[in-house]
Structures are given as structure tokens and as C-alpha cells.
Chains A and B, each alone.
Chain A
Amino acid sequence: MRAFSYERATSAKEAAAKAAATPGAKFIAGGTNLLDLMKIEVETPTHLIDVNGLGFDRIEPTGDGGLRIGALVRNTDLAADTRVRRDYALLSRALVAGASGQLRNKATTAGNLLQRTRCPYFYDTNQPCNKRHPGSGCAAIGGFSRGLGVVGVSDACIATHPSDMAVAMRALDAAVETVKADGSTRAIPIAQLHTLPGATPHIETSLEKGEVITAVTLPKPIGGTHIYHKVRDRASYAFALVSVGAVVHKDGSGRVAVGGIAPKPWRVESAEAEMPQGAKAVAAGLLAGAAPTRENAFKLTLVERTLGAVIAQARS
């Protein structure tokens, strides 16, 4: 790990300004992903701003009947919150499908959204990677790509976003509240938080330099049956090959977001109109324009079948 200086932030505004003004600065909250990457020197911050003391650790009702989840709420606490379990069960289910108990106790809501890909070539500093070293090439395309992306990918990068929680947040129309370096605030719909790789896979979000996430809001509950179905190589503590998060209503309509297949939690609103027609029709819309490799083309079938299982479960 490279040496770094360290400070404990006392206000979001100051932290944002400091991060924007300090070359090599990064925020640290749970640290479960950042420290992992610092140890192998994929991340090499020269200054860490510890945001754990900022107090964004509460879950509160919003004025319009939704929930405001503090950026520092730990994954365990979010999954266990009685309101989340009752009204946003999809979110609870997605959270407990991810990581391990130890990691969920540390990992935060904002950190979960901002975690980096687990593409093996991003982790292997001996390999070219356009995300790690822009312009160096992509070793994953033509390499071991079984777990990587099939849709939303580019010629420069086929990495996936690894979060389960983000899939649920996307289906639930969450928004991310931030403070910018100039002290102004904004709310970013989760659909616009993560960016597609295109020719610049090292740019992963629409956040500006220094911008701090302070909370994630959920609109008022929409009812329906909430299901998160994660398909992985072992029964626990593994990233998704494919995961389907869905809210299905009695009339067969609903929402679907998919994980494990794209650089961001993948949702195509127009495809959801096909929900009453079944999985095949929805999957066709979700996966339009897919560009799988020979090793991960199975994910196209797996998405359709997992979605079929979810719809069947919702009807039963």
C-alpha cells in the first residue's frame, strides 16, 4: 500500500471542498472495497478523507411518504430496518444477497453504489485495463470473460457493476443526494448516477470532483410482490452471474432491474411494458443490442430464465 495522509472530516461541505482541492484525495467510509484495492495498488490515493464522522447514519421518512437513507447507513442496518423490510423488501433481499455478514456490517449505502468492478483484469496490475490505465487496452475482451458484461459494454471495457443493492435501488427509482465542492446540493436519479464505459471506462459516475453523497432517497412505497433472485456459482458470498430484482403487481405489470450483466444496474423501462406477456418478451427488450463474448453468451439465456422464475414465483 502506498503512503497517504489522513484526516477526519467534520462537515460534508468542507470534505467536498478539500477533496476537490487536494490532488490524489479520496473519501473513505466503510473502506471494504477501497482498502482492498489500495493493498494491490489499483487505488493509490495520497490523502484519505474519513467521512465516517459526518453523521449521515439515519433512515428517516421523507415529506412525500418515502425514505431518506443516510449515505453512511451500513448495509446490515439498511437490510434490517423494519420500514425497508415491510415496504421495500426488494432492497432488503438484495442487500442480504450480497457480500458476507462482516462486510455488510462495515459497507455503507453510498460506498456500495460507488464500489468498483470485480473484473479480474482490473485487479491484475500486470494486465492492460482501460479502466485502470486509460488507453492500455482491455484484456477481458478475448480473455476470461465468463462473469463479465453482455449489455451496455463497449470495445474498451466489458466490466460489470458488482452491486446487488444498486439493482434494487434502480428498480425502486432511488435518487442520490449530494453536496458539491462549491457547497451546492443536488439530487441525481440513480439511472443517471452510473455512466456507461464507451471510450472512457475510467469514468464511472456523473459525480463531480469532490462531490459527496449524503443520502439516498426512495419514493413512497409502490406495493407489489418484491423478489430478488441472484444466480451465482455458490450459494452464498459470491458475486452474481445474473441477478433479477423485480416488483410484480397483481395484474402482472411491474418493474425489473438486472445485475451481473452490465456496467450499471440494468433497467429498460420500455421492456417492462411486456411484463404481462412473460419473460421472453421482457428479456428481448432488456437485452436489445447485447454484445456478449463467447464465454458469457449464456447470460442472455440465464436472464430470460431467471426472470421467468421470478415472474412464476410472483404469480404463485
Chain B
Amino acid sequence: MYKNDGRIFADIHDLWWENEALPSLSSFELSRRGLMAGTAAAATLPTVADAASPAPSDPAHTAKVAVEVNGKPEQLVLDTRTTLLDALREHLHLTGTKKGCDHGQCGACTVIVDGRRINSCLTLAVMHQGAKVTTIEGLGTPDHLHPMQAAFVKHDGYQCGYCTPGQICSAVAVLGEIEAGIPSHVTEDLTGPIRATNMEMRERMSGNICRCGAYSNIAEAMAEVAGEKA
């Protein structure tokens, strides 16, 4: 009920920024990400980076990795413990990818690596030398939404939005998996063609949990992009 409604931003603006002049809030230039970063800094709270990624000190526990993220080559020197998720969020500051359970159970951290969707929380960044990573930031931009992003907006495929980047990355990959003929638990004929039915999409999206329960709308968004009736 809050999304696409300027009031929530205006309310938070009043609360946190009342002594500062901010230009054109009504045009949504202040993103939630910017707001969170700004408020954390303003309140001199420790940043998430301090907690999630201890500075690499011991060379024996540090490794280099080169990855391409959303088309951009990146060179990182990381504590070997750094998951791909933490590398994306805390080192490359791509905070679209979300940390939910951090144990591969919720799917909020889903990104696409070398064309495959994976849980970025359950893999080490250093294991991805030379990999091509696509995050939600690489799928589309606010001005040029990926068709799946546009379909999620159109079909109300979210409420709070926290699981949404993972849902969208997963949804994009799911349609690719169906097109590639990869079977699922509900595929009746293992040797025949696979259609993007509602049941197929529900089964294949079971690794992405949505606490708000937007599942049926997510399936409708996927059906629209797949060109099938949900």
C-alpha cells in the first residue's frame, strides 16, 4: 500500500532531514539506499561493512579474485571468508542483492553467475575467478527496466520488496531454464518439451521465499514475460 506513494518518502524526509534543504524529493531522487546510507552516517552508526567483512590482515587468509560484475571488470583482494554476497554488497557496494537468511534457504541473495542463478551467500567470492556476475543492478535501470522488472511492477509482485531482487534474478533465470529444456519436479514427461506453466514456475521458484506472500502475483509477472497464461 506504500509503494508508488510519495508520502512515505516525505514522512521519512521530515523525520530525518528536517534541517537540510533537499532538492526535488517529489521526483524520487532520494532512493531508499541513499536514505539508509545517509541516515547511518548521520547517526554515526557503524556501517554494515565493519561487521560483515573484517579487514584482511593475515596474508595467509587473503586472496585475489578478478570477476566481471554487470559487465564491469573488478579486481578484489579479500579475506578468504568473504562470500560472493558480501563481496557484492560490502566491497562493490551493489546493495541491490539482499542478505536474508545467509544460509541458502530464502533466495534473497540470488544472482546470476555465468548464466546460472545461485545463492550468492553460499559461495566464496574467491571461488569465482573469471566469472561473469549479473545482479539486479545489471538487469535493468530505473529508466530501462528489464521486462521482468516491469512485469513485477505491473503485477504487484512484491510488498515490502526485500526479496524482490532475488525473486527477479531467479525469475529471469527460471525462464531461461525452461527454454533450455531443464526439467523440474513437476515436469510430467522428462523427454518431452517443457512449457512455462504456472505449476512449473511455482515449483522452480520454491527457493525464493516471500514473507509478504506475493507468490501468485510473481507467477503472473513471470507468465506475462514468458508469454503464457498464469
Contacts and interface: CB of A to CB of B under 8 A. Distances in A.
B138 interface: no
B206 A92 contact: no
A4 B126 CA distance: 12
Interface in B45-98: 58, 60-61, 63, 79-81, 83
Contact of B118 (A48, A105, A235, A237): A105
B116 A105 contact: yes
Given A36-B104, A96-B185, A101 B174 contact: yes
Interface in A103-155: 103, 105-106
Interface in A2-51: 3-6, 8, 28, 30-32, 35-36, 39, 48, 50
Interface string B124-139: 1011010000000000
B147 interface: no
Contacts of B187: 96
A101 B187 CA distance: 14
Contact of A85 (B116, B122, B183, B203): B183
Contact of A31 (B63, B124, B177, B207): B124
A274 B104 CA distance: 41
Contacts of A36: 103-104, 122
A236 B206 contact: yes
B80 A80 contact: no
B185 A97 contact: yes
Contact of A32 (B58, B61, B117, B122): B122
Interface range for A: 35 or more
B107 interface: yes
Given A32-B122, A102-B110, A3 B58 contact: yes
Q: How large is the interface on B (under 10, 10 to 19, 20 to 34, 35 or more residues)?
A: 35 or more
Nearest to B127: A50
Interface in B29-50: none
B127 A101 contact: no
Contacts of A82: 191
Nearest to B115: A105
Contacts, number: 112
A247 interface: no
Contact of B170 (A52, A76, A92, A101): A101
**By CB atoms of chain B within 10 A, which of A3, A8, A85 has the most?**
A3
A103 B124 contact: no
A86 B122 contact: no
Given A89-B190, A106-B119, A80 B183 contact: yes
Contact of A4 (B61, B103, B191): B61
Contact of A79 (B63, B83, B170, B182): B182
A80 B206 contact: no
B204 A80 contact: no
A237 B207 contact: yes
Interface in B139-188: 170, 173-174, 177, 180-185, 187
B102 interface: yes
A1 interface: yes
A100 interface: yes
Interface string B194-229: 000000001111111000000000000000000000
Given A35-B83, A80-B181, A96-B184, A102 B190 contact: no
A93 interface: yes
Nearest to B187: A96
Contact of A101 (B123, B124, B177, B190): B177
Given A85-B191, A93-B185, 16 more contacts: A4-B61, A5-B80, A32-B104, A32-B119, A32-B122, A39-B103, A79-B183, A96-B184, A100-B206, A101-B117, A102-B170, A103-B104, A103-B119, A103-B122, A105-B116, A105-B117
27 contacts: A3-B58, A3-B61, A3-B80, A3-B81, A4-B80, A6-B126, A31-B123, A31-B124, A32-B119, A35-B83, A76-B182, A79-B182, A82-B191, A85-B191, A92-B183, A96-B185, A100-B206, A101-B204, A101-B207, A102-B104, A102-B117, A102-B170, A103-B122, A103-B207, A105-B116, A235-B203, A237-B207
Interface of A: 1, 3-6, 8, 28, 30-32, 35-36, 39, 48, 50, 52, 76, 79-80, 82, 85-86, 89, 92-93, 96-97, 99-103, 105-106, 235-237
Closest 10 CB pairs of A and B: A100-B207, A236-B206, A237-B206, A105-B116, A6-B80, A80-B182, A85-B190, A3-B61, A96-B185, A1-B81
